[in-house]
Amino acid sequence: MVEAVGPRVKLGVLEEFLNLARANSLWPMTFGLACCAIEMMATVAARFDLARFGAEVMRPSPRQCDFMIVSGTITKKIAPVVRTLYEQMASPKWVVAYGNCAISGGPFVFEGQYNVIEGVDKVIPVDVYVPGCPPRPEALLEALLKLQEKLTGVRRFPGPERRW
């Protein structure tokens, strides 16, 4: 697995501040492969609006984005491409496995299957898993909030489990 090397000096409090800044401006990379890509596009559209949580622009180039939403089935042909794109992203970077296919191959795993890789975490390290086929756009918003919680340690909006 590719690992990132940490900064050259120990940062202390600055690290928290930097993480807060990073968490509130996470820019996703458009890596829509299959059906889940449509729900990802719907999340960016006006009704569910990913931009209000900081994920303002979806950049197609890996050099300009922070995290990668892997939405769709990983086949043997696309796996090296996923790997290359992940390595070309600049650190710090995170990955969200969106949809059942990215988590574990989804509905395309059967006896004698020859082309599907069962889960994108066999290719790149994943931070947040979003189950569903396809997951609702609200699930992607929750994934972004969980990723922000992973960075800053503080959950920004209370989830359903904390409401009562």
Partner 1 sequence: MLRDFSFVLIFILLSFLLCFLVFVVPWVIAPRSKGVKAQDIYECGVDPFGSAWVRYFAPFYLYALIFVAFDVDVLYLFPVALGYWREGGSDRFLVLLIFLAFLVFPLAYAWRKGVFWWRP
Partner 2 sequence: MVAEGLLRDLDAIGCVVEEVPYERKGYWFDVKAQKEKLPELAGAFDQHGYFVEEVVCVDWREELELLYHFNHWDDPRRFSVRTRVKATDPEVPSIWNIYPGAGWHEREIHEFFGVKFKGHPNLSYLFLHPDIDFYPLRKDFVPVTEEDKRVLLGRFPEGDEESFWLNMGPQHPSTHGVLRLLLKMKGEFIEDMEPVLGYMHRMQEKMAEERSYSQYYPNTARMDYVAPLAFSLCYVLALERCCGIEVPERAQFIRLIAMELNRIASHLLWLGTYLLDLGAATPYFFAFDDREQILDILEGLTGSRLTYCYYRIGGVYEDLNEGFLEAVDRFIQRMKRRLKDYDELVTGNAIFLGRTKGIGVIPKEVARRYGVTGPNLRASGVAFDIRVCEPYDGYRFLKPKVALREEGDSFARYLVRLDEIRASLSLLEEAISKVPEGPYRVEKLPKRPPVGDVFFATEGARGEVGVYIVSDGSDKPYRLKWRSPSFSNFVSFTEIGKGMLIADAVATLGSLDLVVPEMDR
Q: Does 115 bind partner 2 (CB under 8 A)?
A: yes
List all residues 6 or more positions away from 56 whose beta carbon is below 8 Å from its beta carbon: 25, 27
CB of 157 to partner 2, least distance (A): 22
Selected range binding partner 1 among 79-87, 127-135, 144-152, 153-161, rule: CB under 8 A: 79-87
Give me the sheet containing 128-130, strands edge to edge: 28-32, 67-71, 94-98, 128-130
List all residues 6 or more positions away from 84 whose beta carbon is below 8 Å from its beta carbon: none
CB of 108 to partner 2, least distance (A): 5
Return d(Cα 164, Cα 154) in angstroms, integer.
18
Q: Does 91 bind partner 1 (CB under 8 A)?
A: yes
Decide: 120 and 127 in contact? Cβ < 8 Å. no
CB of 78 to partner 2, least distance (A): 5
CA distances from 128 to 51, 66, 121 (A): 19, 14, 11
Q: Does 12 bind partner 1 (CB under 8 A)?
A: no
Q: Does 151 bind partner 1 (CB under 8 A)?
A: no
Using CB under 8 A, count the residues that bind partner 2. 35
Selected range binding partner 1 among 42-50, 80-88, 139-147, 148-156, rule: CB under 8 A: 80-88
Q: What are phi and psi of 122, to 5 degrees?
A: -80, -10
Which residues make up the interface to partner 2 (CB under 8 A)? 30-35, 37-39, 41-42, 45-47, 60, 72-73, 75-78, 81, 85, 107-108, 110-116, 133-134, 136
